[in-house]
Structure 1
C-alpha cells in the first residue's frame, strides 16, 4: 500500500470516532489490525479503506455488543449481519426486562408497607382485558398518566379504563371471589403489559395494593409488581355523563367492517350510515366501497375518522358483531359488542373538513 494512503493512528482515530487506546485494544483483539506497523518504531498506520469497518465496530460497541458478536457481524454478509444485530437487541431487551422486574421487587421490598387485598380475578380474563383496554392508552412524556390503566375496585366489580384523549376504553370484570374492598388507582401500563403473559397462564390472580404499587399474586409463579402513577387520571365519568343522547345506532359484522377499513386506501375516511347499510367513503366522498350490510335505527349520518383511532376500537370489540352508538358528526362514537357490553370504547371523530 502506498504511504500516501496510510494515516497514523491519531488521524485514523479522529476519522473513525475511536480513541487511540481503543484502536490498540481492537488491534490486540484481532478485530481491527493496522494496515502497517513500522518495524523500527512500532508506529501503527491504517488505510482509508479501514474507516468504514472501524466506524461499524464503534457503532456495534455503542449498543453493548460483545466482542465475539462484533467480529461475527463485521465478517458476515448483510443479511446475516442484520440477523445477528436483531438477536443481540432481543437479548438486551430480555435482559433489561429481567433487571427491571428484579429491581421493582427490590424497591418494593425496601418498605414493610402492608398489602391490601383488592380482588381475585381469573387470569386469562384479566390478561385479555388489560390488552384490550390498553389499546386506548398512549405514551405521552408531558402527561404520563395517559400511558396508564385506571383500576377501580368495588365489592361487585373491577373496572379497567384507559384513554389517550382520542379514545377511551373501559371494561368491567366480575371478581372470581367475593371482596369487600373499594380501591382506585392508576397502574403503569408498560409494566402491566410485561406481566400479561404470566397473568394469562394463571388460573387465578390475586391483586393486592400498597401505597406505591400493586402486587399480582399467582400460584406457582413469581409475584409481579407494577408501580402506580401519581398523576391524576382524567375525569372520564364526567365526560361520559355529559354525552348527548344517541341519535343513530348501527350493528355490523366486526370482520366485515375491519376488512373494509383495511382495504380503504386513505388514512382518513367517512362512514356513511343510512337505512340501506353502511358505506366507507374516501375523504373526497367520491370513492365508495361496496355497501356493507348493517342494521340501523335513527337518523342518517356521515361521520369522519382517523384510521388509527377507529380501527383499534373496532378490532378489540368482543364478539362477531359490533354496535356503534352515534350522536352526530362531531361527537364521540361508542363501540361495543352487539351482545356483550363489558368492553366499551369511545372514539373521537374528526371534523368533516378533516381537520383535527
Structure 2
C-alpha cells in the first residue's frame, strides 16, 4: 500500500475518535487490526479506508454494545445490522426500566415509613378493569401523564381513569373491603401492565400507598410495586361535568357494531343514527355502509371517527349491547354498557360529520 495512504496510530486516533490505547485493544481483539505494522519499530499504521470502520466501532461502543455484538454488526449487511442494533437498544431500555423499578422499591422502604393501606379489590376484577381502561393511554412527548392510569379511592368506590386526549375511559369498582383512605395517584402504565398476570391470579389484592408509588399486596407473595408519575393528570372531571345535553341516543349490539367497523375500508368510519337503526359506513362516502338494527331516539345524526378511537372504545364496553349518547357531530360521544354503568368511555369525533 502506498505510504501516502497510511497514517500512524495517533493520526488515525484523531480521525476515528478512538484513543490510541483503544486502537491497540481493538487490534489485539481482531476488530480493527492495522493495515501495516513496521517489522522493525512495531509502529502501527492505518489506511484512510479504515476510518469509517473505526468511527462505526466507536459509535457502537458508545451504545454500551458488547464486543461480540459489535463484531456481529460490523460483519453484517445493513438489514441484519439494523436488526442487531434494535435488539441491543430494546435490551438496554428493558434493563433501564428494571433498574428504575428496583430503585423505586428501595426508595419506598427508606426510612422504614409504613405504607398507607387504601382498600382491597378482587384480583380478577381489578385486572380486567385495568386492562379495559389502559387501552386509552398514549405515549406522547411532553405529556407523560397520558401513559399512566389514575387510581382514586373514596369511601364508596375505586375509580380507574385513563385518557389519550381523543378517548377517555373511566371504570368504577366496588371494593371488597370499605376503603380506609381517600387517595389519588397516577400509576406508571407500563409497570402496571407487567403485574397484571399476578393480580389476576390473586383472589384478593390490597392496595397500599407509599411515597412516589403504590404496592399491590397479594397473599403468600412479596407484592408488586409500581411507581407514580409526578406529572399532573388532566382534569377529566371538569370535562365530564361540561358535557352538553344528549340529543341522540342509540342502543346497538356490540359485536355487530365492531364487525361493521372492521369491514369498512379506510381509517375513518361514519355512524348514521336514524329510523331505529345505526348505519356504519366509510367516512368518505365512497363505500356502501352496513345498517344495524338499533333502538334510537332523538334527532337523526351523522358523526365520524378515526377507527383507532372508536373501535377500542366499543370493544372494551361491558356486555352484549352498547349505549351511545351523542351530542352533535363535533361533540364527544359517551359509550357504555346498555345495562351496566361502571365503565364509561368518551370518544372524540373528527370534523367531517354533519347533521342529517
TM tier, shorter chain?
A: 0.7 to 0.9
Flag structure 1 segments of 5+ consecutive residues without an equivalent.
none
Is the 8 Å Cα contact of residues 303 and 349 (structure 1) preserved in structure 2? Answer: yes
Is the 8 Å Cα contact of residues 272 and 281 (structure 1) preserved in structure 2? Answer: no
RMSD across aligned C-alpha pairs, in angstroms? 2.9
Runs (4+) off by over 6 Å:
none
Deviations 1:120-159 (A, max 9, x none): 1222322232232122233455444333322222343211
1:277 pairs with 2:267: no
| Offset of residue 318 of structure 1 | 3.0
Name 1:315's counterpart in structure 2.
Answer: 315
Change beyond 3 A, Cα 1:141–1:287: closer
Is the 8 Å Cα contact of residues 151 and 185 (structure 2) preserved in structure 1? Answer: yes
| Offset of residue 232 of structure 1 | 4.3
Q: Which moved more, 1:67-76 or 1:140-149?
A: 140-149
Q: Which moved more, 1:57-66 or 1:99-108?
A: 57-66
Change beyond 3 A, Cα 1:11–1:117: same
Distance in 2 between the 1:13 and 1:34 partners?
12
1:295 pairs with 2:288: no
| Offset of residue 333 of structure 1 | 0.4
| Offset of residue 103 of structure 1 | 0.4
1:27 pairs with 2:27: yes
Change beyond 3 A, Cα 1:270–1:210: same
Is the 8 Å Cα contact of residues 150 and 185 (structure 1) preserved in structure 2? Answer: yes
Change beyond 3 A, Cα 1:339–1:17: farther
Equivalent positions of 1:84-163 (< 5 A) are 84-140=84-140, 142-163=142-163
Is the 8 Å Cα contact of residues 273 and 279 (structure 1) preserved in structure 2? Answer: no
Relative to the length of structure 2, the TM-score reads: 0.85
Name 1:329's counterpart in structure 2.
Answer: 329
Equivalent positions of 1:1-356 (< 5 A) are 1-76=1-76, 81-82=81-82, 84-140=84-140, 142-262=142-262, 264-275=264-275, 276-283=277-284, 286-298=285-297, 299-352=299-352
Distance in 2 between the 1:353 and 1:324 partners?
16
Is the 8 Å Cα contact of residues 318 and 337 (structure 1) preserved in structure 2? Answer: yes
Is the 8 Å Cα contact of residues 101 and 226 (structure 2) preserved in structure 1? Answer: no
Deviations 1:277-296 (A, max 9, x none): 3122334xx31343142414
| Offset of residue 78 of structure 1 | 5.6
Distance in 2 between the 1:342 and 1:15 partners?
65
Distance in 2 between the 1:30 and 1:333 partners?
64
Is the 8 Å Cα contact of residues 123 and 205 (structure 1) preserved in structure 2? Answer: yes
Q: Which moved more, 1:256-265 or 1:121-130?
A: 256-265
Distance in 2 between the 1:32 and 1:311 partners?
54
| Offset of residue 170 of structure 1 | 0.3
Q: Secondary structure at the match of 2:31?
A: coil
| Offset of residue 80 of structure 1 | 5.3
Distance in 2 between the 1:15 and 1:294 partners?
72
Q: Secondary structure at the match of 1:187?
A: strand
Distance in 1 between the 2:257 and 2:48 partners?
58
Flag structure 2 segments of 5+ consecutive residues without an equivalent.
none
| Offset of residue 322 of structure 1 | 3.0
Distance in 1 between the 2:180 and 2:89 partners?
45
Distance in 2 between the 1:256 and 1:53 partners?
58
Q: Secondary structure at the match of 1:222?
A: coil
Distance in 1 between the 2:185 and 2:172 partners?
15
Distance in 2 between the 1:202 and 1:78 partners?
47
Distance in 2 between the 1:320 and 1:60 partners?
53
Distance in 2 between the 1:254 and 1:56 partners?
54
| Offset of residue 236 of structure 1 | 2.3
Change beyond 3 A, Cα 1:187–1:75: same
Change beyond 3 A, Cα 1:47–1:211: closer
